[in-house]
């Protein structure tokens, strides 16, 4: 069999200060005409993805990109091409948007699109856009249930919208009881709760989804329904998460933490090298981190930070 030719593409997710992002409709005469996409196009020979992005956005919509961060990388097999898509978050540009190719533009709210259909390769990208910069993990083990539930209420009132309920020290019954209580509080605030490693319980209780520990990830053959993320430590586990089509991963340990003192750490350099391989889901740093590490995390290519102890102070 001949080697498949891969078409490299760069696409830009323009994000406004209010959190809305831009979709454009594909012009007539192209494959998937009329479908919605992120503005962009194919790399020309010798171009980097960022150079192609800058050129395409100038050509297609007349803007000058001033700030763009590489984000997700998705590969997809269409009947017309086998594509590798480099998605950038574009946070700065100059000039008004002009539809130079007769396309339409539509500003969209993550999770609440009002245009369709979107190119099929973009499904994980649209899911990734809904995820927060800071992902909180519960810490009942240390705080005790009463104190943790009280802190949870405060955090919910202050805007906590995503939570992983990870309490491996609890037996199955105690965990299920805690999950019920947590969900009752969280649902009042529209907070998505991911249960730890129990897809059936998540479904029964109506949780948003599940977070898989690395060992369970490696044994999973079918992606659980709803939101699904995992803990990973290396390239093999990242690849497995990609193969299953997960929504996010937490990668660590970045720095020594109280729960894993003296253990092996990746540091931001090791973290950055793994993230830089390009994944179709956001990657959070975990291990000894707090919200104060957000800038360092994002500079290393992370979506943000997963925090345990520091989430409940």
Ligand X SMILES: Nc1nc2c([nH]c(=O)n2[C@H]2C[C@H](O)[C@@H](COP(=O)(O)OP(=O)(O)OP(=O)(O)O)O2)c(=O)[nH]1
Single out the residue of 81, 106, 115, 310 in contact with ligand X (rule: CB under 6 A): 81
What does the alpha-carbon distance between residue 158 and residue 245 come to, in Å, rounded to a whole number? 31
Residues in 82-141 that interact with ligand X by CB under 6 A:
83, 85, 119, 121-122
Beta carbon of residue 8, minimum distance to ligand X (angstroms, whole number): 9
Q: How far is CA 270 from CA 17, 112, 130, 235, 240, in A?
A: 31, 36, 26, 11, 19
Single out the residue of 41, 224, 282, 287 in contact with Mg ion (rule: CB under 5 A): 41
How many chain residues bind ligand X (CB under 6 A)?
A: 18
Beta carbon of residue 83, minimum distance to ligand X (angstroms, whole number): 5
The residue with its CB nearest to ligand X is 41
Beta carbon of residue 298, minimum distance to ligand X (angstroms, whole number): 22
Interface segment toward ligand X; rule CB under 6 A; list 74-82, 147-155, 212-220, 252-260: 74-82
Interface segment toward Mg ion; rule CB under 5 A; list 33-41, 67-75, 194-202, 213-221: 33-41
What does the alpha-carbon distance between residue 313 and residue 209 come to, in Å, rounded to a whole number? 25
Are β-strands 227-232 and 248-251 bridged in parallel, bridged antiparallel, or unpaired?
Answer: parallel
| Burial environment of residue 216 by CB neighbours within 10 A (0 to 12, 13 to 18, 19 or more) | middle
The answer to whether 193 and 218 are in contact (CB under 8 A) is no
DSSP 196: E
Q: What is the DSSP string of 46-114?
A: T--HHHHHHHHHHHHH--EEEEEEEEEEEEEE-SS-EEEEEEEEEEEEES----TTS--EEEEBTTB--
Q: How far is CA 166 from CA 173, 176, 196, in A?
A: 14, 12, 5
Beta carbon of residue 60, minimum distance to Mg ion (angstroms, whole number): 6
Interface segment toward ligand X; rule CB under 6 A; list 37-45, 107-115, 179-187, 301-309: 37-45
Task: State yes or no: residue 11 binds ligand X (CB under 6 A).
Answer: yes
Helix (H, G, I), strand (E, B) or coil at 253: coil
Beta carbon of residue 31, minimum distance to Mg ion (angstroms, whole number): 11
Beta carbon of residue 76, minimum distance to ligand X (angstroms, whole number): 6
Interface segment toward ligand X; rule CB under 6 A; list 40-48, 160-168, 185-193, 233-241: 40-48
Beta carbon of residue 6, minimum distance to Mg ion (angstroms, whole number): 17
Neighbours of 250 (CB within 10 A): 25
Single out the residue of 41, 229, 278, 287 in contact with ligand X (rule: CB under 6 A): 41
Contacted by 52, from ligand X, Mg ion, none: CB < 5 to 8 Å by type: none
Tokens 């009881």 found at: 177
Neighbours of 302 (CB within 10 A): 26
Binding residues vs Mg ion (CB under 5 A): 41
Residues that bind ligand X (CB under 6 A): 9, 11, 30-31, 37-38, 40-42, 56, 76, 78, 81, 83, 85, 119, 121-122
């Amino acid at each position: 069999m001949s080697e498949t030719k891969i078409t490299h593409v760069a696409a830009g997710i323009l994000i406004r200060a209010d959190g809305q992002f831009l979709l454009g409709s594909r012009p007539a005469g192209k494959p998937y005409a009329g479908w919605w996409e992120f503005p962009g196009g194919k790399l020309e020979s010798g171009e980097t993805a960022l150079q192609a992005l800058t050129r395409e956005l100038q050509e297609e919509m007349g803007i000058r990109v001033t700030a763009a961060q590489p984000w997700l990388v998705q590969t997809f097999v269409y009947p017309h091409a086998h594509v590798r898509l480099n998605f950038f978050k574009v946070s700065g540009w100059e000039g008004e948007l002009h539809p130079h190719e007769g396309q339409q533009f539509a500003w969209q709210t993550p999770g609440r699109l009002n245009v369709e259909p979107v190119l099929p390769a973009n499904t994980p990208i649209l899911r990734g856009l809904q995820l927060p910069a800071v992902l909180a993990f519960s810490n009942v083990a240390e705080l005790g249930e009463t104190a943790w539930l009280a802190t949870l209420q405060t955090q919910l009132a202050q805007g906590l919208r995503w939570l992983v309920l990870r309490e491996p020290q609890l037996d199955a019954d105690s965990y299920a009881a805690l999950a019920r209580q947590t969900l009752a509080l969280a649902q009042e605030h529209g907070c998505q709760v991911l249960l730890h490693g129990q897809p059936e319980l998540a479904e029964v209780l109506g949780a948003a989804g599940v977070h898989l520990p690395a060992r369970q990830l490696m044994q999973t053959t079918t992606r659980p329904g709803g939101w699904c993320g995992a803990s990973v430590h290396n390239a093999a586990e990242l690849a497995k998460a990609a193969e299953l089509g997960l929504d996010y991963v937490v990668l660590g340990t970045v720095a020594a933490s109280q729960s894993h003192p003296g253990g092996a750490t990746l540091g931001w350099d090791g973290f950055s090298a793994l993230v830089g391989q390009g994944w179709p889901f956001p990657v959070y740093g975990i291990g000894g981190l707090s919200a104060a590490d957000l800038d360092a995390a994002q500079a290393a290519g992370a979506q943000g930070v997963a925090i345990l102890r520091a989430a409940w102070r």
